[in-house]
């Protein structure tokens, strides 16, 4: 099963939603992202994991294709906030191949995500960015994004998740 291409303002660049059969491509892009972020060892997702997430619509992805070559992706999911009473889209992975950066393709992809969020009744799109990634921070700020600096993200990893659950 393949999805239709979504045209953009750049006639050489189109978007498409991932289908479960694209799981290997999502994993491939996550590994590229992990390499860029100097965190490849933390990318543990498998093709099986992503196939399940995409099939169950617990996660979604879009790909950016330039002249028929897939050069970018965004992996995301819908979330909500009890603080604001609003839903949003959370971008968990976003990458445009290095040789295609600076040409406005990432801007097009974020514009699409904003449009998609509004179409789904969401009031925000959010994502994380590593503190050292000055190039990305500058890009996001140039688009009008702001950072939420007064918060530290905490997480239970799988082993600790089990230990904590066992306390119940």
In this structure, of 20-24, 91-95, 147-151, the range with the lowest mean pLDDT score is 147-151
Spatial separation of the C-alpha atoms in residues 114 and 126, rounded to whole Å: 10
Residue 2 reports pLDDT greater than 70: no
Spatial separation of the C-alpha atoms in residues 39 and 133, rounded to whole Å: 13
Query: Mind listing the domains of the chain with CATH numbers?
Result: 6-165 (3.40.630.30)
Task: Count CA within 13 A, CB hemisphere, residue 57.
Answer: 2
Spatial separation of the C-alpha atoms in residues 30 and 116, rounded to whole Å: 22
Contacts of 60 (CB under 8 A, 6+ apart): 17, 18, 54, 75, 76, 77
Tokens representing 21 are: 């059969």
- Cβ–Cβ < 8 Å for 116, 87: no
DSSP annotation of 145: -
Class of residue 18 by CB neighbours under 10 A (exposed 0-12, middle 13-18, buried 19+): buried
CA proximity to 54, closest of 85, 30, 88, 82:
30
Mean pLDDT of 39-46: 96
Does 140 participate in catalysis according to the annotation? yes
Q: What pLDDT score was predicted for residue 1?
A: 46
Mean pLDDT of 84-88: 95
Conformation bin of residue 38: beta by default, left when phi > 0, alpha when psi is -120 to 50: left
Catalytic residue among 36, 66, 140, 146: 140
Q: Give 89-119 pLDDT, tens digit per residue.
A: 999 999 999 999 999 999 999 999 999 999 9
Spatial separation of the C-alpha atoms in residues 160 and 5, rounded to whole Å: 42
CA proximity to 93, closest of 137, 27, 149, 152:
27
Spatial separation of the C-alpha atoms in residues 150 and 139, rounded to whole Å: 21
> What pTM value is reported for the model?
0.93
DSSP annotation of 12: T
């Amino acid at each position: 099963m393949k999805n239709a291409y979504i045209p953009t303002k750049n006639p050489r660049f189109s978007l498409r939603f991932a289908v479960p059969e694209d799981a290997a491509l999502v994993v491939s892009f996550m590994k590229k992202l992990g390499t860029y972020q100097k965190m490849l060892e933390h990318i543990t997702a498998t093709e099986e994991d992503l196939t399940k997430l995409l099939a169950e619509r617990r996660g979604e992805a879009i790909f950016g294709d330039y002249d028929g070559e897939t050069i970018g992706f965004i992996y995301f999911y819908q979330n909500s906030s009890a603080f604001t009473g609003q839903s949003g889209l959370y971008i968990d992975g976003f990458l445009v191949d290095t040789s295609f950066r600076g040409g406005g393709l990432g801007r097009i992809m974020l514009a699409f995500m904003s449009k998609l969020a509004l179409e789904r009744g969401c009031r925000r799109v959010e994502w994380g960015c590593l503190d050292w990634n000055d190039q990305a921070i500058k890009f996001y700020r140039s688009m009008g994004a702001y950072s939420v600096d007064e918060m530290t993200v905490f997480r239970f990893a799988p082993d600790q998740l089990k230990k904590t659950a066992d306390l119940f």
